[in-house]
Amino acid sequence: MGSNAVLDAIYTRRSVRTYLNKPVAKDIVREVIKSGFHAPNGLNLQKLRFVVVMNRQRMHTFLKEIRYCIGT
């Protein structure tokens, strides 16, 4: 098969369920968010919003509030 970056990504993708306890570089986070704006979303009718939380304590606080709001 020829070299196609999209197909290579599809065929070699894997699920990650454990993570390292180290921060992700801001330029990588920005690139991932930028790519998210190009993902399909319901006929492109939905506005996309991304929230990036770099502070672990704040992340846990948000998680508790979200769980409370959605009732889980």
Q: Which long-range contacts (CB under 8 A, 24 or more apart) does 39-44 make?
A: none
- Under DSSP, the state recorded for 22 is S
Element containing residue 33 per DSSP (H, E): helix 26-36
pTM, two decimal places: 0.59
pLDDT digits (tens, 9 = 90+) for 23-68: 899 999 999 888 888 877 777 677 778 888 988 899 999 999 999 9
Question: Cα(35)–Cα(30) distance, rounded to whole angstroms?
Answer: 9
